[in-house]
Amino acid sequence: MNHTGKSRTVFHSSPTLPVAEDEVSQRIRLLMKLRNSGIRDAAVLSAMESIPRELFVEDVFREHAYDDTALPIALGQTISQPTIVAMMTVALEVKPRMRVLEIGTGSGYQAAVLAKLARRVYSIERHKDLLAIAEQRFLQLRLTNIVTKRGDGAKGWKEAAPFERIIVTAAAKEIPASLVDQLSDGGIMVIPVGDNVAEQKLMRLTKGEDGKTFIESLMDVRFVPLVEER
């Protein structure tokens, strides 16, 4: 696995993995809940249906993989609540030929969902152990279009920029200027912002063709902080 800062692409074709019957029914119930909560984007729902969330949670929490709740993973991080994953993905408005930058690989679940929607996903994680586990999951699922790197997510991925879409899965005190610079004109960034966990807002930044930005607040959220390397 690559943890040196150099990018790495996984080359395999998509598999059909066996799924336990109870997990199938749990997945169906979750999709119904997402629809009932207002998620109507068929592509996003299909992507979430195709990704086995139970592979991205700790074994001790596997029975809760399809509960609509955030769950703890290693190193004090979390896998986001499915509703939040869905809402952030819908807000990102990903199209099939787009290149997406994800800040915070974490368990790898959000990247896996995005891989079903975008041409390529570039994902950065600062914790090498988390990244190694996520990369193994990508290999197991044979996702061909995820490129990973260990590094400071607040600095983005300058060598691969610009990106049509950027998603940040940790809360920044303010929107990093480096990420705005790496967003292409006409692009969208979805990012939680807030210094206090109780006061975080999910923001969507749209960058016009003229380079000017428009920022809107979408909802209250609770994310682990985006930690910048010193």
- Which contacts qualify for 49-52: CB closer than 8 Å, 24 or more apart? 50/116, 51/109, 51/112, 51/113, 51/116, 51/141, 52/17, 52/19, 52/23, 52/27, 52/141
Among residues 156, 168, 170, the alpha carbon closest in space to that of 205 is found at 168
Cα 219 vs. chain centroid, distance in angstroms?
17
Is 123 a residue of the active site?
no
Tokens linked to 217 = 């607040």
How open is the CA angle 200-137-113, to the nearest 5 degrees?
A: 50
Find the catalytic residue in 7, 13, 25, 80: 80
Write out the catalytic residue numbers.
80
